[in-house]
Amino acid sequence: MNHISLDRQKAYLVTGTAGFIGFYLAKRLLDEGCMVVGIDNMNDYYDTGLKQARLNLLIPYERFRFVRGGIENKELVFKLFKEYGFDIVINLAAQAGVRYSVHHPDVYIQSNIVGFFNIIEACRHYRTEHLVYASSSSVYGANKKIPFEEIDAADTPVSLYAATKKADELMAYAYSHLYGIPSTGLRFFTVYGPFGRPDMSYFQFTDKYFRNEPIRVFNNGDLTNDLYRDFTYVDDIIEGMARIIANPPSKTGDEAAHRVFNIGSSSPVKLMDFIITLEWALSKVLGRPVEFERIYEPLKPGDVRATYASSRLLQDATGYRPSTLLKDGLLKFAEWYKSYYNVC
């Protein structure tokens, strides 16, 4: 994909700025000379040191402002909108994790429902030009048709996390219909790369290798019916997001100025092939053979057997086409991991 430029005259709000995708998006905007305000509650769902390390790379930018707080704080959200008059809002703040939602439902309601409501309310009052918000491939739930397409029914969530993301899509549509807020929802599939989330499988597998622990593979050892995941390298995701941000939807007839896109690679990989490629990448970086000890277990509640994005709509609208090969992306992750954690 060719690199596109974003409007430096606009004011951008990126929520969840210390998160994985939020960090990369904010950095892309700042590298292009844009004014970016970031907000993040820096919660301890995973290592706050990693979040701080990401944030430390953003703080030196002259046109970056950071606010520590949660979007569930309506007074804080409205204060920021009043002060900066955001033209573009990218809402990436959310409580992540399918399995975590099984035992900690409250935080998902506060961040993903209440917090998102505060954002769209502020967009309404301050006439935001474009709201881009994170949804998830999890909304497809028990859908067995693959690849997943945006026209497919998404009414069978198998986790509370998925249900909150579907609720966000419905709220965004209603607000777009009622108040004319141009908004775009992004159904992210599995995103990976340096500075990634430690709760993601590739990061956990690497952690366990260096702790001399076996990895847990949730396919019951059934290699003829393996899990499939749609892995997309973070740089490709950010380029796709940049193209979306620059092209807000318009109202057409009775349809609201709202749309939802899958954003993934459209090239699902067997979990076992992914594991073998990660072993290869670590071997290449460490200069020695790497093989994970495996323990096979059944699929966990809330997990799905396959994620497979059809990105045709996004490609038609923006020219989005991921270009990073899995082996190249995992090699970059392995190089970063070795350097960041100083392992050998």
In a domain, residue 218? The reply is no
Residue 155: what pLDDT?
87
Average pLDDT in the 248-253 region?
A: 87
Catalytic, 179? Answer no
Supply the range of the domain harboring residue 119: 11-191+234-265+309-322
pLDDT for 3 beyond 60: yes
**Contact between 48 and 91 (Cβ < 8 Å):** no
- Res. 4 pLDDT band, cuts 50 70 90: confident
Q: Please give the Cα distance from 341 to 288 (Å, whole number).
A: 18
**Contact between 216 and 257 (Cβ < 8 Å):** no
In a domain, residue 283? The reply is no
> For residue 135, which of 70, 177, 90, 78 has the smallest C-alpha distance?
90
In a domain, residue 203? The reply is no
Residue 147: what pLDDT?
87
For the stretch 12-42, pLDDT in tens is 999 999 999 999 999 999 999 999 999 999 9
Which residues does 216 contact at the CB level (< 8 Å), separation at least 6? 295, 296, 297
In a domain, residue 4? The reply is no
Neighbours of 315 (CB within 10 A): 17
In a domain, residue 287? The reply is no
CATH of the domain at 51: 3.40.50.720
Residue 103: what pLDDT?
76
Residue indicated by tokens 């919660």: 43
Residue of 100, 161, 175, 192 marked catalytic: 161
For the stretch 149-167, pLDDT in tens is 999 988 888 888 999 999 9
> For residue 241, which of 65, 15, 71, 22 has the smallest C-alpha distance?
22
β-strand 88-91 against 130-136: which pairing, if any?
A: parallel
In a domain, residue 2? The reply is no
Phi, psi of 10 (to 5 degrees): -85, 155
Residue 107: what pLDDT?
86
Q: Please give the Cα distance from 227 to 303 (Å, whole number).
A: 10
In a domain, residue 54? The reply is yes
Which residues does 342 contact at the CB level (< 8 Å), separation at least 6? none
Number of domains in the chain: 1
Beta bridge partners of 13: 37, 89
Residue 229: what pLDDT?
85
For the stretch 197-234, pLDDT in tens is 999 999 999 999 999 999 998 876 665 566 788 899 99
Structure tokens at 311: 């990105």
Phi, psi of 226 (to 5 degrees): -70, 160
In a domain, residue 294? The reply is no
Residue 104: what pLDDT?
79
What is the overall mean pLDDT for the chain?
92
pLDDT for 143 beyond 90: no
Residue 342 vs residue 45, higher pLDDT: 342
Q: Please give the Cα distance from 321 to 333 (Å, whole number).
A: 21
